Chains A and B, each alone.
Chain A
Amino acid sequence: MLAFITRRLLLLIFVLFGVSVLLFGILMTFSPERRAATYVTSPQQAKDIPKIIKQFGLDDPFYIQYFRWMKEVLKGNMGWSLVASRPVGEAFWNYFPVTLEMNLFAAPIVIIFGIWLGTLSGIHRDTWIDHTTRILAIVGWSLPTFLFALVLLMIFYGYFQLFSPGVLSDQLTMFIIDNPETFTRFTGMYTIDGILNGRFDITLNALAHLVLPVSTYVIVVVALNMRVMRSGMIEELSKDYVMTAQAKGADKKTIYIKHARRNALLPVVTVAGQLVALSMEGSIAVEVVYNRHGIGWWLAESAVQLDMPVLMCICLFMGVVFVITNLTLDILYAYIDPRIRLN
């Protein structure tokens, strides 16, 4: 077990190295002039470009620039973000809680709903329950996240005037900015900070702002989970051990829940890594449309404004998330399936 985790952490270093080389390589396809231009803020400074190139060594060979950059990153300096107008590292911790908050609310719903609907659909194969859930899943799968988010906004914000975009209502945001001493941001997540500060109105307001993003996200992501669960159930229910259980006198519920569902969960665990990737992509669209300033919004904004240090930082972060998710999933897999031992 320990050896397994160590090996995975070594893999993490390899992946991070690979990701950084890849990204650095991609960004190095810029000419030195273009990269220097991002430091320039006014037309008058344009004549300084050659000087900037010289100063930062932007025309040095690839590996020299890479190791120079690497050294800074290891020191904890990720660079300066134009979009956030502050150091990348600092800005990251500012944006991260917003994304995390949404995912914390959405993930359990996706998992529980997906497994439940998939099981139901697999048990009642080829009945109306199955057909309805499948149609819903495939339609959900076909909805582009950003478009669905826009339509929800149109209906619920425009027509019913229920939920507004953003993270918190303007009044409360202004209040927090004006009175920093009465509201401490422990976690950066308003729902939790509201409770910790005893300001339940803030928690409620933040929750109301989460309704649309979370529902968008759940409807789009749940399809994959459900589909895998369904085919897993169908496959497991056709296996011989189900008949053994039947011959033992097991009732339907025991067969479905105790025998088949546990085994059908294995493929779900396998695709859960994909699910995490999918939800990261989904959070970009959701945050852009609902104007929630989290990691996804930051990334999209940085891509438009050519904010390269941010792109690097987020890609490295995604690499870390990817490896850690897979590590967790492998452990979970071994826990469910006794045939697998981690060594």
Chain B
Amino acid sequence: MTQQHPRLREFKFTLYRIFRNPSAIIGFSLLFIFAGVALFAPQIAPPKYPHNPYLMPHKGFSPTPKPPSQTNIFGTTSGQYDIFYGVVWGTRTAFKIGMFVVGIAAFVGVTLGAVSGYLGGIVDEALMRITDVIWAIPTLVLAMAIIVAFGRGLDKVMIALALVGWRWYVRVIRSEILTLRDQDFVQAAKIMGVSDLKIILRHILPNAIYPVLIMASMDMGSMVITASFLSFVGLGAPKGYADWGQMVALARNYIVGPPGDPLKFWYAIVIPGGCIVLFVLAWNLIGDALRDAFDPKLRRR
């Protein structure tokens, strides 16, 4: 057997594990489609207002949604906003929210967790007490409070979620580091005089990063859910903004159609709602496959 670098071999094995799992294949294909739609949004649905493409075009102000037709292939929602346009550009919004929130939260959380776990002592104690306090309030509630303070808007929602989201990463990375810190290879590196920063970056983080990856991919989903709920309540994206949660909010009063045709306006809810579900599902499936692949207790059979 040819000798490979152990990390490369491990990586190959992990990839094999991930792609043997049908949920990963579904997840990645869904994600691929969404990414394509987001990338080519200007080509798929040319913006009407080039200076502000996220504003959904609308013809007229009638509050009653209109069914799919030649001009609006997914129909229009309340206020005559084009659902197709909203869905396409909403994909970009979703990626924007997810990437921004998870990126910042993971970066802040991993940095704080690594510092706190590796240094220990007073720094650790202080940081952990602060996280204890923040843990006591559910994400959504704390995010709401922050949005109330900062004012409404999608950007504020994103900032608020990033400010709340890091606490997960701190705990996970810290506990990983606490177990790794006392292991022989880290001790050996320490005795050899490797600097603390280098030990963290070269030896500890690569070994502790898997749970963060799993969590980040699950978080992409749950953060998009939370953001869309905040938009739904009216704290997030303004009316007419291409955001799935906001589109569901627009159609909220039309969940029940006129007597005799109760499901008349299904498209106004189901199409943007379905997009949220599929987007979140994609990330969760990937996260699930990653968890199966990385969990040392469940792998290797």
A residues sitting closer than 8 Å to B (CB atoms) are: 11, 14-15, 18-19, 22-23, 26-27, 29-30, 134, 138-139, 141-147, 150-151, 153-154, 157-159, 161, 231, 234-235, 238, 277-278, 280-281, 284-285, 288, 299-300, 303-304, 306, 308, 311, 314-315, 318-319, 322-323
Contacts and interface: CB of A to CB of B under 8 A. Distances in A.
Nearest to B251: A150
Interface in B112-156: 129-130, 132-142, 144-150
Nearest to A28: B149
B59 interface: no
Contacts of A304: 233-235
Nearest to B285: A138
B297 interface: yes
A158 B263 contact: yes
Contact of B262 (A27, A30, A158): A158
Contacts, number: 141
Nearest to A278: B138
A144 B225 contact: yes
Given A138-B285, A277-B139, A319-B136, 15 more contacts: A14-B132, A18-B133, A22-B134, A26-B146, A134-B288, A138-B23, A143-B277, A146-B229, A151-B273, A154-B255, A284-B229, A288-B233, A303-B147, A315-B137, A319-B137
A318 B143 CA distance: 14
B149 A26 contact: yes
B256 A157 contact: yes
Interface in B249-301: 252, 255-257, 262-263, 266, 269-270, 273, 276-277, 280-281, 284-285, 288, 295, 297-298
A19 B137 contact: yes
A159 B235 contact: no
Contacts of A150: 248, 252, 255, 269, 273
Contact of A142 (B133, B263, B280, B295): B280
B90 to A, nearest CB: 14
Contacts of A154: 255-256, 262-263, 266, 269
B273 to A, nearest CB: 5
Given A27-B145, A311-B145, A19 B133 contact: yes
B136 A280 contact: no
28 contacts: A15-B132, A22-B133, A27-B145, A29-B150, A139-B281, A143-B277, A144-B229, A147-B276, A150-B248, A150-B269, A151-B270, A158-B263, A159-B263, A234-B298, A235-B298, A281-B138, A281-B139, A281-B140, A284-B229, A285-B229, A300-B144, A303-B144, A303-B145, A304-B233, A304-B234, A304-B235, A308-B148, A315-B145
A235 B150 CA distance: 46
A145 B229 contact: yes
B89 interface: no
B232 interface: yes
Given A144-B276, A238-B297, A18 B262 contact: no
B80 interface: no
Contacts of A138: 23, 281, 284-285, 288
Given A144-B280, A153-B255, A303-B144, A323 B136 contact: yes
Contacts of A231: 295, 297-298
B93 interface: no
A26 B148 CA distance: 9
A280 to B, nearest CB: 5
Interface residues of B, number: 50
B150 A299 contact: no
B136 A19 contact: yes
A154 B233 CA distance: 18
Contacts of A315: 137, 141-142, 145
Contacts of A300: 144, 233
B75 interface: no
Given A18-B133, A138-B284, A144-B277, A299 B141 contact: yes
Residue from the set A30, A304, A323 with the largest chain B CB neighbour count within 10 Å: A304
Contacts of B257: 158
Given A19-B137, A150-B255, A319-B136, A142 B270 contact: no
Contacts of A311: 144-145, 148
Nearest to B232: A146
Contacts of A159: 262-263
Contacts of B98: none
A234 B234 CA distance: 43
B267 to A, nearest CB: 12
The list of the 4 closest CB pairs from A to B, nearest first, reads A18-B133, A158-B256, A158-B262, A142-B281
A141 B284 contact: yes
A319 B141 CA distance: 11
A15 B133 contact: yes
B60 to A, nearest CB: 25
B145 A26 contact: yes
Nearest to A305: B148
Contacts of A19: 133, 136-137
B127 to A, nearest CB: 13
A144 B232 CA distance: 11
B135 A322 contact: yes
A278 to B, nearest CB: 8
Contacts of A141: 284
Contacts of B269: 147, 150-151, 154
B65 interface: no
Interface in B28-54: none
B78 interface: no
B86 interface: no
B136 A322 contact: yes
A25 to B, nearest CB: 9
Contacts of B256: 153-154, 157-158
